[in-house]
Amino acid sequence: MPKRSQSSQRWLKEHFSDPYVKKAQAEGLRSRAAYKLEELVERDRLLRPGMVVVDLGAAPGGWSQWVRQALGDSGRVIALDILEMPALAGVEFLHGDFREDEVLSQLEASLGQTQVDLVLSDMAPNMSGMDSVDLPRAMHLAELAMDFGDRHLRIGGNFLIKLFQGVGFDDYVRELRRRYDKVAIRKPAASRKRSPEVYALAQGRRAQMK
């Protein structure tokens, strides 16, 4: 049996010693990512009973699980991912690639005429380790998520998305500022320090872009 590489051994050691991993396991949450969302949402009080929330890039379900618990029995949580996700009570899951028109149409059909209060996007491409490849792929997903918000977020609605700093980042944030009243860049405590990810929180979708 081949030996694990030093990098994979280091990752496993870091993962299983991670306090957020241990906390998620103890509290029955599907992933440590739930604590990123918890900090981001509670700081700005983004959730209210009865909200319609769309979670893009949802698998394994940590964000959807946390939102469903926070909303209680009210509202709707619609999750989508290219990966399979085990069922969560009270969460509507669509399995498919958000980049495909057919999958987007299925998501839009499930919404019907309902406007969305909060769009969450934790989407990321499969990382190759090459910025010249990974960043454009990540930015493409981010642009698709922003387009979805343009079409389906209610006026005054909010948009929270994971971004990777690099080429295209500043232009993307500039576009968010045209669309929303307030935009902040956050790095939650549960986000690993060595990770280039940050979260853009855009609040108050405008009726018209600047």
In this prediction, residue 20 has a pLDDT band, given cuts at 50, 70 and 90, of very low
Indicate the number of domains in the chain: 1
Q: Is the pLDDT reported for residue 21 higher than 90? A: no
- Is 13 catalytic? The answer is no
Query: 97 a known binding residue?
Result: yes
CATH number, residue 125: 3.40.50.150
pLDDT score of 12: 41
DSSP string, 103-115: HHHHHHHHHTTPP
Residue 11 lies in a domain: no
Range of the domain at 90: 33-205
| pLDDT tier for residue 16 given thresholds of 50, 70 and 90 | very low
Is 157 a known ligand-binding residue?
A: no
What is the predicted pLDDT for the residue at 18?
62
Residue 15: pLDDT band (50, 70, 90) is very low
Question: Exposed (0-12), middle (13-18) or buried (19+): which is 121, by Cβ within 10 Å?
Answer: buried
> Residues of 162-197 as b/e, b for ≥16 C-beta within 10 angstroms?
bbbeeebbeebbebbeebbeebeeeebebbeeeeeb
Q: Does residue 50 fall inside a structural domain?
A: yes
The verdict on whether residue 73 carries a ligand-binding annotation is no
Question: Quick check: 138 and 125 in contact, CB under 8 A?
Answer: yes
Q: Which pLDDT band, with edges at 50, 70 and 90, does 9 fall under?
A: low
Is 12 part of any domain? no
- State pTM to two decimals: 0.85
Tell whether 14 is covered by a domain: no
Q: Would you say residue 127 lies in a domain? A: yes
pLDDT: which is higher, 17 or 158: 158
Average pLDDT, the chain: 87
Question: Is 18 inside any structural domain?
Answer: no
- Of the candidates 162, 182, 187, 210, the residue annotated as catalytic is 162
Q: Is 66 annotated as a binding residue?
A: no
> In this structure, is residue 180 part of a structural domain?
yes
61 has binding-site annotation: yes
In a domain, 24, yes or no: no
